[in-house]
Every structure is written in C-alpha cells, then in structure tokens.
Structure 1
C-alpha cells in the first residue's frame, strides 16, 4: 500500500500565516499579503495535483478579506460620523 505523499503548497502556508499576522501584528499589510498569496496558492494547487493545502489558502484568503473589508467599513463609518458632525455644526 504505497500512498503517494502530497506536498503542501508553500504559498498556502504563507497565506495562512499572513492572514493570522493580519489579525495580530501587521493589520493591513499582512492581510494584503494573505489575499495575494492565497489566490496564487489556489491557482498553483489547481495546476499541480501533487500539491495540497487548498484549505489553508482559503482560510488565509478569508482572514485577509475580513480584515480588509472591516478596515474599509471602519474608515467609511469614521468619515460619515465626523462628516455628519461637521455638517451639523454648520447649520
């Protein structure tokens, strides 16, 4: 029973680690790296059936996108709040 050993994609590992770093030490930069490497890893895994790690790439992508979308929404809320205050102060 010789089962072929599947190697884990390095880009998938980088995506997962960067996604975790995006939540902890490098909030925006780590998330961008997680998104880019996650997409690259999924493409690499689709092209080479001997590679494994699609779930790690997906988790890195999700972590990265959640931080990026949360940051954009926080900036939007900040601008709306203080823009509303400025608008109210001119009335």
Structure 2
C-alpha cells in the first residue's frame, strides 16, 4: 500500500507570495521577505515530517529573491528619475 503524503502548506504559501512579489509594486519587497521565510520554514518542516512540496518551496524561494531584486530596481529607478527631474527642473 502506498501512503499519500500531503503537500506542505508553507511551500504553497511561499510560492504564492513569491509570485505576488514579482507583480505588486512597492509591497513586493515585504512579500519577498515573507516568501523567503516561508520557504525556509517549509524545507525544515518537510525534513521532519516527510511531506511533499520541496519543488514548490524552491520555486517560491527563487521567485521571492527575484521579486525583491526587481522591486529594489524599481524603487531605485523612481528615486533616480525624481532626483534628476528636480535637479534639472
């Protein structure tokens, strides 16, 4: 008999929040940090409980990191744009 393991909830949350961090401006940094924390927590739980979802946690971790970097570039570009326009204006 095969035992069906459940998918870790934190892995699903990390993927969802990681994807949202890519698309929601300014709040994406906070969502990215939440995604990283949830993915690390999910990996620890999966090592202890033998649940599924390691790929989801990894994808959530990667999406969260990319989302944070993307959001930081957006914020820096806004700052650079407004600093240039106020100096020359």
Q: Under TM normalisation by the shorter chain, which class is it?
A: 0.7 to 0.9
* Backbone CA RMSD of aligned residues: 2.3
Could you tell me whether the CA contact under 8 Å between 2:20 and 2:31 is conserved in 1? yes
Could you tell me whether the CA contact under 8 Å between 2:22 and 2:70 is conserved in 1? no
Query: Superposed, which structure 2 residues align to 1:1-91 within 5 Å?
Result: 2-25=1-24, 26-49=27-50, 51-72=51-72
Kindly name which structure, 1 or 2, has the bigger radius of gyration based on alpha carbons: 1
TM-score (norm 2): 0.74
Identify unmatched segments of 5+ residues in structure 2. none
TM-score (norm 1): 0.73
Runs of 4+ in 1 over 3 A off after TM superposition: 70-83
Shift of residue 71, structure 1, vs aligned partner: 3.6
Identify unmatched segments of 5+ residues in structure 1. 87-91
Aligned residue for 1:7, secondary structure, equals coil
More strand by share: 1
Select the structure with the greater relative contact order (CA < 8 A; seq sep ≥ 6): 2
